[in-house]
């Protein structure tokens, strides 16, 4: 878009270095397009900020619902099971 704007500006210069009326029209259209594009970017940034806040709030809500659990309460176990046939493995 910026390249189009620069091309329109450079091609629209008439005699004695003055811009033609058509150049001002193109400039106005390019300005409107840039404004819309900037507004879209701002809207997307606001939406991403809200989504980020929602995602950050999820762990906090879980901690409040289940108490403030310390890191030592959770354990990770990796179990390799070799069996002659499939079945259910229950851990408690």
> Which pTM does this prediction carry?
0.44
- pLDDT tens readout for residues 15-24: 555 556 566 7
Residue 44 in this model has a pLDDT that exceeds 80: yes
pLDDT for 17: 56
Question: Measured between alpha carbons, how far is 28 from 25 in angstroms, rounded to an integer?
Answer: 5
Q: Would the pLDDT of 30 be above 80?
A: yes
């Amino acid at each position: 878009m910026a390249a189009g704007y620069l091309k329109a500006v450079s091609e629209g210069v008439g005699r004695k270095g003055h811009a033609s009326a058509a150049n001002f029209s193109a400039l106005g259209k390019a300005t409107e397009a840039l404004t819309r594009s900037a507004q879209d970017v701002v809207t997307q940034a606001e939406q991403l900020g809200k989504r980020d806040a929602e995602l950050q709030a999820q762990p906090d809500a879980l901690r409040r619902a289940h108490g403030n659990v310390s890191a030592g309460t959770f354990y990770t176990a990796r179990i390799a099971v070799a069996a002659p046939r499939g079945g259910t493995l229950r851990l408690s």
